[in-house]
Structure 1
Amino acid sequence: MKSQIVTFLIQCPDQKGLVAKITNFFFEKGFNILSCQQYVNSIENTYFMRIRLNADGTILSKKELESSFLELSTPLHFKWSVHYSDKKQQVAILVSHTSHNLYDLLERYKEGNLNCTVKMIISNHEKLKPIADMFQVPFYYIPVIANDKSKQEKQLMELLDSHQIDLIILARYMQILSADFINAYPEKIINIHHSFLPAFQGANPYLRAYERGVKLIGATAHYATEDLDEGPIIEQDVKPVTHESTPTTLKKIGADIEKLVLARAVNNHLNHQIIVSGNRAIVFPETGE
């Protein structure tokens, strides 16, 4: 029988004795600590912890564990969340015309390299339905209705909520989402942007990069917020290019970087490695789990 792994994400004002209080709590409850990662932001006097536990040997129910931890956390002013390995996150991928990120995510998913269930692919166009069919993932076509985008978003939300979607991946979904939509799923929407933000926003970024003679091509994955392309950054990467690069070669290089950056960001989220603090994402490195 597979062990139940429990992950706690904690942030609070920095203070003496935190590690001892937290680790002693889990020891006394019968948990084995698999890893304990910490970070202190000395500028903001804030402490962050990601702690992974093996639940073998403890008889506490999830409700009892969370109730007991609340008693510890309240006087210490914790903001915390807990995640259990027996619950796979349900994922929806939103796309428009561009296929490279979709192909990459679905391939990783089918190979068992994304710890989730991809429940659906949603698009405002029908072009990418054959890819969904190839990977045997349900495809939903929800077009944007002229002069009534709110109706399309309402349909989107009803579909997502009816399937209890935990994470929405914008894999080059070329629609600006409303504040109402984004605020309904806080820290649950990951977007990929075709630049090392905030440069070259908008249409035809690689032509503009070419015209500026850039020496680096990059990509950024971030949580979506009301401020377009300005949400907490999860992952970024760049690759050097030269004056010999054309818009076409820049686009190919950019697509490769996008795939890697988006996949890493999604994995970070699925593995509960991220704590959002204000507009910053604290991303703990993988520990070999």
Structure 2
Amino acid sequence: MTTARTAPAPGTANRRPAVQQASLVVTGADATGIVAAVTAVLSGHGANIVSLDQYSDDPQGGGFFQRTVFGTDGLRAALPALRADLDRHLVEKHGLRYALRDLSVPKRVAIFASRSDHCLLDLLWRHRRGELPVSIAMVVSNHPDTAEEVRGFGIPFFHVPSMGPDKSAAEAEHLRLLKGNVDFVVLARYMQILSGGFIRDVGVPIINIHHSFLPAFVGAGPYAKAKERGVKLIGATAHYVTEDLDEGPIIEQDVVRVTHADTAADLARRGADVERAVLSRAVLWHAEDRVVRHGNHTIVFT
């Protein structure tokens, strides 16, 4: 009696399982031997370095910043031993800090929005197309306007009203929703000021999109103000949120040229395009561990 054998699909006979990848971000005081120490630890665990970017703001005692992406078989099982070696060779020997993350596990994000939906819907659309390696845990808004559109993407929507000077009840509900459920928050034109207490208590990075090169044209009606001043460039800024309003470390900026013939509506339309692009890049880079905060500025490995 013979047993029939099914031939493998073309090109699959010698295919190996996909190698798992991780990111390793190393920061600290610059010194001789750091890159060698990192690569030695990784090679000692059979890891193959896919990319390595580094920057020193001053080779003579300045800050050192490095992002490495590497792959290895059985990554998750290897992580505990790898961390132990990184502790020994980087932390104890060189006094460095590091963050090690399995890139197959996407960061969880909550998106906050108000009535303006262009940034919100752009992020949802990019996520659905697989362009943003994140897990969108929820959308939170102080208005119900976008609820049906958000739920059409299969994303939970929470309406949390926030009116008047006292935001404590709304922020308490925000913290209840977010605690333990997200790795960062994105303000996609969320038109509410977050309190210092909330920023501290939420315990995760918050990314905001601002409709200008900070701090010009703050407040309501920025494009009407820009038209009144006869600007020739309009732009957008994505930055981390701190207790100092619109003063946090900048992640990304971009501009578009305009002329005297553009109306305020034209500026708003073109500005919305810039806002979408700048915010999506900032979210992508943060999700891929490409942004390192250093004081009140950032190192961005793009």
What is the letter of the counterpart of residue 202 of structure 1? G
- TM-score w.r.t. the length of structure 1 is 0.94
Alignment partner, residue 55 of structure 2: 39
1:167–1:189 CA contact under 8 A, matched in 2: yes
* Alignment RMSD (CA, Å): 1.7
Alignment partner, residue 55 of structure 1: 72
Answer yes or no: is 1:276 the counterpart of 2:275: no
What is the letter of the counterpart of residue 17 of structure 1? G
Work out the CA distance in 1 between the residues paired with 2:98 and 2:185: 22
Work out the CA distance in 1 between the residues paired with 2:271 and 2:129: 24
Structure 1's 212 and 58: CA in aligned 2 closer, same or farther, altered over 3 A?
closer
Instruction: Give the 5 Å matches for 1:151-190.
Output: 151-162=169-180, 164-185=181-202, 188-190=205-207
Structure 2 stretches of 5 or more lacking a match?
Answer: 1-16
What is the letter of the counterpart of residue 157 of structure 1? L
How far off is 1:4 after superposition? 1.6
Answer yes or no: is 1:226 the counterpart of 2:243: yes
Work out the CA distance in 2 between the residues paired with 1:230 and 1:107: 29
Work out the CA distance in 2 between the residues paired with 1:143 and 1:184: 20
1:145–1:151 CA contact under 8 A, matched in 2: no
Structure 1's 281 and 68: CA in aligned 2 closer, same or farther, altered over 3 A?
same
Give the counterpart of 1:102 among 91, 103, 120.
120
* Matched residue SS, 1:61: helix
Answer yes or no: is 1:87 the counterpart of 2:105: yes
Work out the CA distance in 2 between the residues paired with 1:54 and 1:92: 29
* Matched residue SS, 2:31: coil
What is the letter of the counterpart of residue 144 of structure 1? S
Give the counterpart of 1:239 among 253, 256, 270.
256
Aligned residues: 284
Alignment partner, residue 39 of structure 2: 23
* Matched residue SS, 2:247: coil
How far off is 1:69 after superposition? 0.7
Answer yes or no: is 1:121 the counterpart of 2:133: no
How far off is 1:130 after superposition? 2.0
Work out the CA distance in 1 between the residues paired with 2:202 and 2:80: 24
1:190–1:223 CA contact under 8 A, matched in 2: yes
Answer yes or no: is 1:8 the counterpart of 2:27: no
Give the counterpart of 1:143 among 161, 180, 189.
161
How far off is 1:42 after superposition? 1.4
- Once the two structures are aligned, what percentage of the paired residues are identical? 42
1:182–1:226 CA contact under 8 A, matched in 2: yes
Answer yes or no: is 1:266 the counterpart of 2:266: no
Answer yes or no: is 1:206 the counterpart of 2:223: yes
Work out the CA distance in 1 between the residues paired with 2:213 and 2:160: 30
Structure 1's 223 and 17: CA in aligned 2 closer, same or farther, altered over 3 A?
same
Give CA-to-partner distance per residue, 1:17-74, whole Å, 9 cap, x none.
2111111111112111111101110187111100111022778532222122111122
Point out the more displaced range, 188-197 or 139-148.
139-148
What is the letter of the counterpart of residue 171 of structure 2? E
* Matched residue SS, 2:217: coil
Structure 1's 269 and 79: CA in aligned 2 closer, same or farther, altered over 3 A?
same
Point out the more displaced range, 141-150 or 45-54.
141-150
